[in-house]
């Protein structure tokens, strides 16, 4: 009798809400043992319990992707698993929407730290395990903000361009190894926290982002694309998928019914 193949492991960062949580749910349903990471312990533990109750596999691990020592310790702990096949670098986000003339450098720094250095930290730490799996995937959640700018967006746009460049460069550098690099670049996605965090808890400003837009994308739409991309046969590399709602023609051209 041959042994059953080990369940593939998928690590998802920033999985406490939104796209990260939806991705954890969908990858678990697709057969991955998901390792759910984020800073908020209660949220990721509740999500892991929900996924487990649904008959799938999940483990929660508190992690701040900007803390390199914590990331290294997390990666070392993953050696309990036989192999790590997928890393979804989802942790990140936007802070502020001020023009360049008045933007807060602290917001810019924090966005670079989470969106770029956070992705760098986790990718560097897990690349050996992903390579050792013989069939690894590094997925970077960038944004349409990584592919064009808009007024008031420069700090976030600069950080997401950084995430895009990280993905594109890594793909060049590791070609020939058994690891592919996928970039998913969503446009307007309405999640419970993205815009509220951006506007420092101001729900009125956050609501304006989606005002009159019939159907912004949902976290589930993006999780669906992520799950599709990572479940393609391993020789197929979806380099980049740029996804917008039908009502959004560009970063700044949005149809609103007001
Ligand atoms: C989210 C897209 O338009 O808020 O990554 O920059 S946008």
Give the pLDDT mean for 213-224. 97
Question: What pLDDT is stored for residue 197 in this prediction?
Answer: 96
- pLDDT of 1 > 80? The answer is no
d(CA 196, CA 204): 9
Q: Output the six-digit token pair for 76.
A: 């070392």
Nearest-atom index, ligand 1, CA of 157 = 6
> How many other CB atoms are there within 10 angstroms of residue 235's CB atom?
7
Nearest-atom index, ligand 1, CA of 209 = 4
pLDDT in tens, 101-136: 999 999 999 999 999 999 999 999 999 999 999 999
Is the CB of 95 inside a 6 Å radius of any atom of ligand 1?
A: no
Q: Which domains does the chain have, with CATH numbers?
A: 9-243 (3.40.50.720)
Of 44, 19, 51, which Cα lies nearest the Cα of 139? 19
Question: What pLDDT is stored for residue 125 in this prediction?
Answer: 98
Active-site annotation holder among 32, 112, 150, 156: 156
- The sign of the dihedral angle between the CA atoms of 68, 73, 76, 80 is negative
Question: What pLDDT is stored for residue 6 in this prediction?
Answer: 78
Q: Which of 187, 199, 222, 241 to mutate to test the pocket of ligand 1 (most atoms within 8 A of CB)?
A: 187
* Annotation marks residue 156 as catalytic: yes
pLDDT in tens, 135-193: 999 999 999 999 999 999 999 999 999 999 999 999 999 999 999 999 999 999 999 99
Whole-number average pLDDT of the chain: 96
């Amino acid at each position: 009798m041959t042994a059953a193949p080990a369940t593939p492991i998928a690590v998802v960062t920033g999985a406490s809400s939104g796209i990260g949580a939806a991705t954890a749910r969908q990858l678990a349903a697709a057969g991955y043992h998901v390792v759910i990471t984020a800073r908020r312990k209660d949220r990721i533990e509740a999500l892991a319990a929900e996924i487990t109750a649904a008959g799938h596999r999940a483990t929660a691990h508190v992690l701040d992707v900007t803390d390199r020592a914590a990331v290294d310790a997390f990666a070392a702990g993953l050696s309990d698993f036989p192999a790590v096949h997928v890393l979804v670098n989802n942790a990140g986000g936007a802070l502020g929407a001020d023009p360049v003339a008045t933007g807060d450098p602290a917001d810019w720094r924090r966005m670079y730290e989470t969106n770029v250095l956070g992705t760098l930290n986790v990718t560097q730490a897990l690349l050996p395990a992903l390579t050792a799996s013989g069939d690894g995937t590094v997925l970077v959640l960038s944004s349409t903000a990584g592919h064009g700018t808009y007024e008031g967006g420069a700090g976030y746009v600069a950080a997401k361009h950084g995430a895009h460049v990280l993905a594109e460069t890594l793909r060049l550098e590791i070609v020939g190894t058994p690891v592919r690099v996928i970039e998913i670049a969503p446009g307007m996605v309405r999640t419970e926290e993205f815009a509220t965090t951006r506007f420092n808890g101001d729900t009125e400003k956050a609501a304006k982002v989606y005002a009159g837009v019939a159907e912004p994308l949902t976290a589930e739409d993006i999780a669906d694309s992520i799950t599709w991309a990572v479940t393609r046969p391993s020789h197929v590399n979806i380099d980049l998928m740029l996804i917008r709602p039908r009502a959004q023609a560009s970063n700044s051209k949005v149809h609103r019914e007001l």
